[in-house]
Structure 1
């Protein structure tokens, strides 16, 4: 009888520990790399988002920080995830990289968030930025995560996405946001961004004109964000992904110029109005339009190939800015 009681107690404790410390196979999330097709945000039920994620193989995942990594125009979510896996496993944080495919999320709906379509303002609940909050809720629900906030890193078109997210979602749970090497920025100019080449004035995507964000209260919250404007000093090449429209060129001729102009404009605007300004501009020396280079803050060539090590990063790296900088 004693053996039966002991066995039953052991079985009960084992079940409890399993539920607490190991994700079940039938759950959407498991340790290591995984994918999950997310359709739980009702307005986008017909626009599935494949979540590429990594949960460390050891440690209590329920208490781990959560990082959203937002891909560029390539939509290569798996590659963006891989750039962070080594850090995540060593340090103990979760990485979620949603993949917004081109066919379902063209540029107006991806990096420009679906705020407008053909010049017409869209309902706020249909803005793509809402999916990040919904994914975070989904992750917390299915893993019992205690995380109350999440951090964000976006490169290229992902850099466009995350800084516009910071602007358009002032009540989100995003904590530190790193916007790296975007092709264009949204200047918080209520009356629009003047064209350098004509008398035209531009609205959304390059300014807040004509949107619900065109007010001082929203802009003040934007400036109060923990936002890093991260740019590679060698991102000065007019590659095929660089926006070359007149509204983009009105910000500068390359990504490096545009980042500096955007940051200086916002800093001056905040100072003029006496508003809190929690941003920093971070220049990554020697790095061009290179996602891992921005994550690590450097790269080195070994046999003609770029190599990266989790033990070799700089204080300008996205990793340092999010997880190490005090």
Structure 2
């Protein structure tokens, strides 16, 4: 009698192996989408592709808080992600660091200013602003990883700090819960007597834009040793120098200007100011101070 058992077993094993090959990608994704670091490209907006460097610590789930991070002028999103990773693990939140490549966003106009105006001062279409990409990028992450979060917290340092405080002005309905602008290289003041980007003259804003802006949950986080000169054209311009000789002075000027604007409108200022001792122009040192402001519900 021919041996039919062994061929049957072989066929069964082959079938099992084929099934495992088919199912492996979905199983691997389900097991690894939480508790990983990595990167991917985001393209679901009108502008150039962005890279997202993410950190998802162990024990994260669909309800974990999310911090979106905007790097400085070097656009070194991988380094920022690594500097935030231990904070994410220790404090149990997800980090998304946005990389807007210098090739696609070469100057302060495209990056620090969120693309609102071009280098000639002309206001650009809103769908092309880098500001416009942030909410869809957050929604895209939710879809990829199954997050239930309705809002995110926002942090930026240096050029990213400039991005963050302007983002809250130009995107008042963004899904931001709390924001920290750390060591912005120069500021947009709530002052219609000064030209944008150093004030508000020359850009189209709703009548209540400043009032809404000052009511945002924003912390200006300044290093008390951030006193070196800036080198980029807008950051080192005469108008920027009028705000102060260095980043610390300019941040203080922004807060004082916000206090005056809130007083003139008979409204309260929700913004907060913290000056961090013995810290200069360093994301790695500022980030740990930012976390305590970002994570309280």
Which residue of structure 2 lines up, in the alignment, with residue 258 of structure 1?
250
1:318 partnered with 2:290? yes
* Alignment counterpart, residue 273 of structure 1, candidates 265, 268, 271: 265
Which residue of structure 2 lines up, in the alignment, with residue 310 of structure 1?
none
1:81 partnered with 2:102? no
* Alignment counterpart, residue 166 of structure 1, candidates 165, 168, 187: 168
Which whole-Å CA distance do the structure 2 matches of 1:293 and 1:90 have between them? Answer: 16
Which residue of structure 2 lines up, in the alignment, with residue 31 of structure 1?
35
- The C-alpha deviation readout for 1:127-175, integer Å capped at 9, x for no partner, is 1101110101101122221111110110000001111101110010111
Which whole-Å CA distance do the structure 2 matches of 1:209 and 1:169 have between them? Answer: 17
User: Could you tell me how far 1:241 is from its partner in structure 2?
Assistant: 5.3
User: Could you tell me how far 1:123 is from its partner in structure 2?
Assistant: 1.2
* Alignment counterpart, residue 139 of structure 1, candidates 138, 141, 159: 141
1:233 partnered with 2:186? no
- The C-alpha deviation readout for 1:19-43, integer Å capped at 9, x for no partner, is 8xx8448x9x6531110011111x1
Flag the 1:220–1:23 CA change in 2: closer, same or farther, 3 A. farther
Larger radius of gyration: 2
TM-score, structure 1 normalization:
0.78
Q: Which runs of 5+ in 1 are unaligned?
A: 1-14, 194-202, 297-316
Which whole-Å CA distance do the structure 2 matches of 1:58 and 1:34 have between them? Answer: 17
TM-score, structure 2 normalization:
0.85
Which whole-Å CA distance do the structure 2 matches of 1:174 and 1:323 have between them? Answer: 12
Give the 3-state SS of the residue equivalent to 2:243 in structure 1: coil
- The C-alpha deviation readout for 1:211-241, integer Å capped at 9, x for no partner, is 122x441111100000011100110112545
Give the 3-state SS of the residue equivalent to 1:129 in structure 2: helix
Flag the 1:165–1:239 CA change in 2: closer, same or farther, 3 A. closer
Which whole-Å CA distance do the structure 2 matches of 1:216 and 1:274 have between them? Answer: 15
Which whole-Å CA distance do the structure 2 matches of 1:68 and 1:114 have between them? Answer: 18
1:234–1:289: 8 Å Cα contact kept in structure 2? yes
- The C-alpha deviation readout for 1:81-105, integer Å capped at 9, x for no partner, is 1121112123321100010111101
User: Could you tell me how far 1:190 is from its partner in structure 2?
Assistant: 2.1
Q: In the comparison of the two structures, how many residue pairs are matched?
A: 270
User: Could you tell me how far 1:110 is from its partner in structure 2?
Assistant: 1.0
- Return the structure number with greater relative CO, CA threshold 8 A, min gap 6: 2
Higher percent of residues as helix? 2
